[in-house]
Structure 1
């Protein structure tokens, strides 16, 4: 009888210790989330603008979800399927593209910003030092400290190209097809978290959402499939 009771007590103690361990891990995760402030809306979210929220799945991986905006299409395999497997449904809207080009040229001096001379070359040359391009994108509810190189390249392309196809603009730390960790932005580390450290410079998820909407409007063709 005593041995039975001791076994039961040991089992109860084991369950208690396991519960405490899980509670500690949960608290660590919660404190990490609070510290990074990843539940707060990014600065791009203005009145009526988009709100991006981050959450942890387990203790390692993370995903981005969109709330409070019915027009947003969740980032899932179905989105990738829509972008890749049904190209015939995408049609270039030449009229809307021409209108957007005129809007951009009203805010951005393309010749000044993108012309490189021997005396003007500097670190971060690609318009990072000149914020005229931010004026246009701010009207689209996108106002980070610095626009990403990807969105700046779109700004350049919109002024000099007849049609734009974007490849590889995927700002999340996981593969949309396999869910495996990916190198984030231009860093080599895989599975990097999008936290306030990134938001201090860029708003990549918000840029992706904007580009996806432009894809739907026929302004640019987004391609997310793997390179051959």
Structure 2
């Protein structure tokens, strides 16, 4: 009897243990599944490409009230932007309008675009727009830098006979395309800071600043000012200076030309070729000549593409020598320059891009509205006036050095697509800017 009761007790205890262990296993399995699901959701939501884009653009592209660049600055309306992207996709045969509509209708106005489907669709739309641009470039009449053919001159004249319209949607799509294709943002990579220093860097950190010295975007309006003689007599000085941010090149002379080129400067470039003209500042007399002819009237940031730390150190020392407190040298990120150069090779820019074209791309990402002045690689204007290579020295255009036919084709196309306004006429006669949302 006792034995039977003992066996019965043992059986109940065994079953209790079994049930307890089973419950524990179910609980642990459920917890493990939930944990794995959460990890997978986190990985999906932090897709490398998506994270890069969204860290810079935490906004709903269809909501004009979003707080970050570029929609707030561009004022892209939700319905217009959605319709535009749908039409772009449908026209190029990538997706049907109903497919695009079903995706975008699911995007709530209170949310940022984080889904892979929306992100991919916008990227497809951006590529479709770039294809349209490339097709237009290929249809342009032939010409040579320095000498435009009659057909090309007539073609350009027809472009500038029409009033220019800023296209918010094309600008927004181009900015998205640029960020997506380079997997970075212009602001983060425009200049080298100490975060770019490698452990075994031999530069000694010369020219590497602690933080990015460029003001944070967006800039409402920007002037990108080239040095072409097309600016002579243009009366564009006031128009240039009215913009929030002004970009110039190679420490170009300003004094004496203010009426045509303005005086305001936020950043100017310094190519290694300029330093070579002054013996790379290796002796005192060259440093004096350089400071008197190039540095005295400048202000803002000096962005250099030089990789030679000794040259950079000598420039910094020369700036200190003349006690120029309004001038600061920064090192350009040539890795970012190379990324953009590689990207544009896919779209017909077969030569290494000029610093002017590079900064124009940067401006399109940093600025809501971009105006381009002083870019005209021809010996004569549309009116037949002789145009020197530079407005400040009368030097003849060197076709071997300034072979920019691919770039001018793209700039004319960007002008037609409303991404930038190319100024080649007297600014007092320019048509007023219109915005096409």
- SS of equivalent to 1:154: helix
After TM superposition, list the pairs within 5 Å mapping 1:1-228 onto structure 2. 53-54=143-144, 63-65=147-149, 74-76=152-154, 79-80=156-157, 82-83=159-160, 86-87=162-163, 90-106=164-180, 107=182, 109-115=185-191, 117=193, 118-119=207-208, 122-124=304-306, 125-126=331-332, 130-145=337-352, 147-180=353-386, 182-184=387-389, 188-194=393-399, 197-198=400-401, 203-226=403-426
Moved beyond 6 Å, runs of 4+ = none
Rounded Cα–Cα distance in structure 1 between residues aligned with 2:391 and 2:406: 17
Rounded Cα–Cα distance in structure 2 between residues aligned with 1:193 and 1:148: 14
> Structure 1 or 2: larger helix share?
2
After TM superposition, the score normalised by the length of structure 2 is 0.31
Rounded Cα–Cα distance in structure 2 between residues aligned with 1:174 and 1:191: 11
- Which structure is larger by alpha-carbon Rg, 1 or 2? 2
How far did 1:191 drift?
3.2
How far did 1:123 drift?
4.0
Contact 1:166/1:221, CA 8 A, preserved across alignment: yes
Q: Go from structure 1 to structure 2 and tell me whether the alpha carbon gap of 1:86 and 1:126 turns closer, same or farther (over 3 Å shift).
A: farther
Contact 1:54/1:63, CA 8 A, preserved across alignment: yes
- SS of equivalent to 1:74: helix
How far did 1:100 drift?
0.7
- SS of equivalent to 2:378: coil
Contact 2:192/2:333, CA 8 A, preserved across alignment: no
How far did 1:168 drift?
1.9
- SS of equivalent to 2:414: helix
Stretches of structure 2 lacking an aligned partner (at least 5 in a row) = 1-136, 194-206, 210-302, 307-330, 429-437
Q: Go from structure 1 to structure 2 and tell me whether the alpha carbon gap of 1:208 and 1:122 turns closer, same or farther (over 3 Å shift).
A: closer
